[in-house]
Amino acid sequence: MYFSVSHAGQEVSLQFGDTPDSFRALAQWAERFGGTVTGCPTTHHDGRQAVHCEVKFTDNGVKVEAYAFISANKAAPAAT
């Protein structure tokens, strides 16, 4: 996980790793802080397909963005 903090902008950015567990973690953040996880297809620099997943919310006046680029071949299988 990587993170950055902007004191002047009152913003925190959290980048999660390229694993299916990252999506579950983003969903937990969304549930806890009232955000919604969104996903958008994208392509890595090396041409691999991926999904850019993110959740945004504000907590105590601080804007938080948590996101991950999850490779399509690492996506969790669909529930049956």
Bridge-based pairing of strands 49-59 and 2-6 is: unpaired
pTM of structure: 0.80
DSSP label at residue 80 = -
DSSP label at residue 77 = P
pLDDT tens-place string over residues 6-54:
777 789 999 999 998 999 999 999 999 999 999 999 998 999 999 999 9
Q: Distance of CA 64 to CAs 49, 68, 73, 79, Å?
A: 26, 14, 28, 29
How much is the pLDDT for 80? 47
